[in-house]
Amino acid sequence: MIDLTQYLPILLFLGVALGLSTLFVFLPMGVSRLTGTHQPDTEKNSEYECGFPAFEEPRDRFDVRFYLVAISFILFDLEASFLFPWAVTLDETGWPGWIGMMIFLAILAIGLAYEWKKGALEWD
Protein backbone atom coordinates (compact mmCIF):
# COMPACT_ATOMS: atom_id res chain seq x y z
CA MET A 1 0.00 0.00 0.00
CA ILE A 2 1.34 3.42 -0.97
CA ASP A 3 1.50 6.07 1.72
CA LEU A 4 -0.03 9.20 0.12
CA THR A 5 0.61 11.42 3.13
CA GLN A 6 4.01 12.24 1.65
CA TYR A 7 2.21 14.28 -1.01
CA LEU A 8 0.25 16.35 1.51
CA PRO A 9 2.78 19.26 1.60
CA ILE A 10 2.76 19.43 -2.21
CA LEU A 11 -1.03 19.43 -2.34
CA LEU A 12 -1.12 22.07 0.40
CA PHE A 13 1.34 24.22 -1.54
CA LEU A 14 -0.67 23.84 -4.76
CA GLY A 15 -3.89 24.70 -2.93
CA VAL A 16 -2.42 27.85 -1.39
CA ALA A 17 -0.92 28.88 -4.76
CA LEU A 18 -4.22 28.32 -6.56
CA GLY A 19 -6.12 30.23 -3.87
CA LEU A 20 -3.73 33.19 -3.90
CA SER A 21 -3.61 33.40 -7.69
CA THR A 22 -7.40 33.29 -7.87
CA LEU A 23 -7.61 35.95 -5.18
CA PHE A 24 -5.10 38.21 -6.95
CA VAL A 25 -7.00 37.92 -10.23
CA PHE A 26 -10.61 38.19 -9.15
CA LEU A 27 -10.40 40.40 -6.05
CA PRO A 28 -9.39 43.60 -7.93
CA MET A 29 -12.15 43.02 -10.48
CA GLY A 30 -14.74 42.55 -7.75
CA VAL A 31 -13.56 45.60 -5.80
CA SER A 32 -13.67 47.79 -8.93
CA ARG A 33 -17.23 46.69 -9.68
CA LEU A 34 -18.34 47.26 -6.08
CA THR A 35 -16.74 50.69 -5.75
CA GLY A 36 -17.98 51.93 -9.13
CA THR A 37 -14.59 52.44 -10.77
CA HIS A 38 -15.43 49.91 -13.50
CA GLN A 39 -16.76 52.27 -16.17
CA PRO A 40 -15.56 51.12 -19.61
CA ASP A 41 -15.95 53.52 -22.50
CA THR A 42 -14.52 53.83 -25.99
CA GLU A 43 -11.54 55.90 -24.84
CA LYS A 44 -10.52 53.34 -22.22
CA ASN A 45 -10.88 50.47 -24.70
CA SER A 46 -8.93 52.21 -27.48
CA GLU A 47 -5.48 51.17 -28.67
CA TYR A 48 -2.91 52.32 -26.16
CA GLU A 49 0.20 50.34 -27.06
CA CYS A 50 0.91 51.59 -30.56
CA GLY A 51 -1.36 54.62 -30.76
CA PHE A 52 -3.33 53.73 -33.88
CA PRO A 53 -5.87 51.05 -34.83
CA ALA A 54 -4.58 47.79 -36.22
CA PHE A 55 -4.35 47.41 -39.99
CA GLU A 56 -5.62 43.84 -40.00
CA GLU A 57 -7.73 41.59 -37.86
CA PRO A 58 -5.80 40.12 -34.91
CA ARG A 59 -6.66 36.56 -35.94
CA ASP A 60 -5.22 36.85 -39.45
CA ARG A 61 -2.26 34.69 -40.32
CA PHE A 62 1.24 36.10 -40.43
CA ASP A 63 3.39 35.84 -43.49
CA VAL A 64 5.89 32.97 -43.27
CA ARG A 65 8.75 35.45 -43.74
CA PHE A 66 7.97 36.87 -40.30
CA TYR A 67 8.69 33.47 -38.75
CA LEU A 68 11.85 33.02 -40.82
CA VAL A 69 13.22 36.34 -39.62
CA ALA A 70 12.26 35.49 -36.02
CA ILE A 71 13.99 32.11 -36.20
CA SER A 72 17.07 33.76 -37.74
CA PHE A 73 17.16 36.29 -34.92
CA ILE A 74 16.97 33.53 -32.31
CA LEU A 75 19.68 31.56 -34.11
CA PHE A 76 22.14 34.46 -34.21
CA ASP A 77 21.25 35.48 -30.67
CA LEU A 78 22.21 31.99 -29.53
CA GLU A 79 25.38 32.26 -31.57
CA ALA A 80 26.35 35.37 -29.62
CA SER A 81 25.62 33.59 -26.34
CA PHE A 82 28.04 30.82 -27.35
CA LEU A 83 30.76 33.28 -28.35
CA PHE A 84 31.15 34.89 -24.91
CA PRO A 85 32.05 31.75 -22.92
CA TRP A 86 34.26 30.60 -25.80
CA ALA A 87 36.17 33.88 -25.77
CA VAL A 88 36.66 33.71 -22.00
CA THR A 89 37.98 30.13 -22.05
CA LEU A 90 40.00 30.36 -25.26
CA ASP A 91 43.31 30.26 -23.41
CA GLU A 92 42.28 26.95 -21.78
CA THR A 93 40.82 25.29 -24.89
CA GLY A 94 43.65 26.36 -27.19
CA TRP A 95 43.70 25.44 -30.86
CA PRO A 96 41.05 22.68 -30.67
CA GLY A 97 38.60 25.15 -29.14
CA TRP A 98 39.42 27.77 -31.75
CA ILE A 99 39.02 25.31 -34.64
CA GLY A 100 35.74 24.03 -33.19
CA MET A 101 34.33 27.55 -32.96
CA MET A 102 35.46 28.36 -36.49
CA ILE A 103 33.59 25.27 -37.75
CA PHE A 104 30.52 26.39 -35.80
CA LEU A 105 30.73 29.91 -37.25
CA ALA A 106 31.26 28.52 -40.76
CA ILE A 107 28.11 26.42 -40.47
CA LEU A 108 26.17 29.48 -39.32
CA ALA A 109 27.63 31.59 -42.14
CA ILE A 110 26.59 28.96 -44.68
CA GLY A 111 23.08 29.01 -43.20
CA LEU A 112 22.97 32.80 -43.39
CA ALA A 113 24.15 32.76 -47.01
CA TYR A 114 21.48 30.18 -47.84
CA GLU A 115 18.78 32.32 -46.21
CA TRP A 116 20.01 35.39 -48.02
CA LYS A 117 20.05 33.57 -51.36
CA LYS A 118 16.53 32.25 -50.87
CA GLY A 119 15.26 35.78 -50.09
CA ALA A 120 14.19 35.05 -46.52
CA LEU A 121 15.68 38.34 -45.32
CA GLU A 122 13.88 40.53 -47.86
CA TRP A 123 10.81 42.29 -46.54
CA ASP A 124 8.17 43.90 -48.77
What span, in angstroms and rounded, lies between the C-alpha atoms of 69 and 43? 35
pLDDT tier at 124, thresholds 50, 70, 90:
low
Computed over every residue of the chain, the mean pLDDT equals 84
pLDDT at site 77:
85
Q: What is the average per-residue pLDDT within 5-20?
A: 94
